[in-house]
Amino acid sequence: MRLRAAVPLHASVALVLTVLTFTGGAAWLSALAFRRRWLALGALYLALSATLWVAAPLWGRQPMPCWGEPLRAKGIYCAMNRTYVTPELALVLADLAGAMEAAHPGTITLMLDGGFPATNLPLLPHLSHDDGQKADLAFWYRDAQGYAPARTPSPLGYFAFEAGPTDCRPGSFSLRWNLAWLQPFWPEMTLDGPRLETALALLEADGRVGKVFVEPHLAQRHGAGSKVRFQGCRAARHDDHIHLQL
């Protein structure tokens, strides 16, 4: 009876872990066969994730680097298997990072969410990011000492919003979260305007890039070109990161 009651719980946990990390659900269910489940879960998750690094090219994907300069993915998204992109997008990102470092020495370009290693699997809560041709980049920031390489106010890289005017009204069925209560908790950091302007200009000039999403008030302030679009009022805000796609 207890086993039967536990089935929905384990199924729910596996579903959530799969949605978040791709391999977490399989690792959770497999770990149930072991006495030391948490140890088994960690070992299985690492083994499955390592396998993805090798197998990803079979699906036309490759993982972005999790360390190094001038381009890296944020560690938490590496650990969650959310940094896979197509080889073409990987080259676009590498070229952008190299050009950013040349224009502003010492710059590190930090990728956030990319995609899962397999085709056409959604990367929630994003409305796209299912084909390996989209990626989010963290903004570049400054603190009291100057440019802060690979650092963001939010530990996730998201949800530290740049306040500005908007025509969007609050709605119930929307991913445009305000999170005003959260903003005072972030450390004091300011957007690095010159680096953002350089990045937008480089993306505008790159013929491989199809669209770029940032909020209109940032686009107007930092000289964005015709590729920069507004994602709409029901999609996630883009005043905390850049979204680009082929």
5 versus 148: the higher-pLDDT residue is: 148
Predicted pLDDT at 173? 62
Res 163 pLDDT > 90:
no
Which residues have a Cβ under 8 Å from the Cβ of 188 and sit 6 or more positions away? 143, 144
Helix (H) or strand (E) holding 96: helix 87-103
Rounded-to-integer distance, Cα 66 and Cα 88, Å: 18
Answer with the residue of higher pLDDT: 35 or 4.
35
Mean pLDDT along residues 79-108: 98
Residue 231: predicted pLDDT: 77
Residue-level pLDDT at 198? 97
Q: Is the separation of the CB atoms in 208 and 227 below 8 Å?
A: no
Cis peptide before 122 (omega within 30 of 0): no
DSSP state of 58: G
The percent of residues above 70 in pLDDT, for the chain, comes to 95
Closest by alpha carbon to 141, among 186, 101, 96, 191?
191
Q: How far is CA 142 from CA 4, 94, 101, 102, 145, in A?
A: 54, 22, 16, 18, 7
C-alpha span between 16 and 10 (Å, rounded): 10
Note whether 57 and 69 are within 8 A (CB). Answer: no
> In this structure, are residues 129 and 106 in contact, taking their beta carbons and an 8 Å threshold?
no
CA distances from 13 to 19, 42, 57, 235 (A): 10, 15, 28, 26
79-90: average pLDDT? 97
Calpha distance 123→18 (Å, rounded): 10
Q: Containing H/E element for 73?
A: strand 71-73
Evaluate if residue 119 carries a pLDDT over 60: yes
Q: Could you state, in order of their start, the residue ranges of all structural domains in the chain?
A: 2-58, 60-245
In this structure, what is the dihedral angle of CA atoms 53, 83, 75, 218, given to the nearest 10 degrees?
160
In sequence order, the β-bridge partners of residue 132 are none
Place of tokens 């010159």: 194
Domain covering 60-245 in this structure, CATH number: 3.30.1380.10
pLDDT classification of 48: cutoffs 50, 70, 90: very high
Supply the pTM of this predicted model.
0.91
pLDDT digits (tens, 9 = 90+) for 216-237: 889 888 887 889 888 777 777 8
**Does an H or E element contain 218, and which?**
helix 216-221
User: Does residue 1 register a pLDDT over 50?
Assistant: no
